[in-house]
Structure 1
Amino acid sequence: MSASRLFVIGGFVLAFGLVALIEWASRREGSRIPSLGDVCAYVMQYEVGRMPVGRLGVFGFWWWVGWHFFAR
């Protein structure tokens, strides 16, 4: 296994670990950190006129993730 592959895998493990740590911290009693669900709910309610821009953004993000990680 090459060093660059190990570096990338380590970066993803670190990123997922940080997300898990922040989510854990957001669910403690009296925490002021919003959970991932709260952030998604806030983004999804954003509209410009009658256009649900937040929902389109979340849909576009999931499309991008699916295209780059699952369409191989």
Structure 2
Amino acid sequence: MMRALAIGGFLTALLLFAAVEWAARREGSRIPSLADMCAFVMRYEVGPVPVGRIGLFGFWWWLGWHFLAR
């Protein structure tokens, strides 16, 4: 039961992500695409410190540690 619920949740999230990305890539759309959001995060700085890059690196580190380390 819980496995089916988890799989359904992930599939729903994937479909919503695809729908938003599709809407973002339509002509004249004001919704930013994933590439636009990633570019904004990578450029974000507070003074000389690249906070966006540090945050993205930390997120990838956490994701790898959380799901891949055993």
Whether TM exceeds 0.5 here: the answer is yes
Q: What CA distance in whole angstroms lies between the structure 1 residues aligned with 2:19 and 2:62?
A: 24
Identity among equivalent pairs (%): 67
Q: 2:30 aligns with which of 18, 28, 32?
A: 32
Q: 1:16 aligns with which of 11, 14, 17?
A: 14
Cα RMSD between the aligned structures?
Answer: 1.3
- Structure 1: which 5+ runs fail to align? none
Matching residue's letter, 1:20: A
Q: Measure how far apart 1:61 and its partner are.
A: 1.5
Q: What CA distance in whole angstroms lies between the structure 1 residues aligned with 2:18 and 2:66?
A: 22
Matching residue's letter, 1:15: A
Map of 1:46-57 to 2, 5 A cutoff? 46-57=44-55
Aligned residues: 70
- Structure 2: which 5+ runs fail to align? none
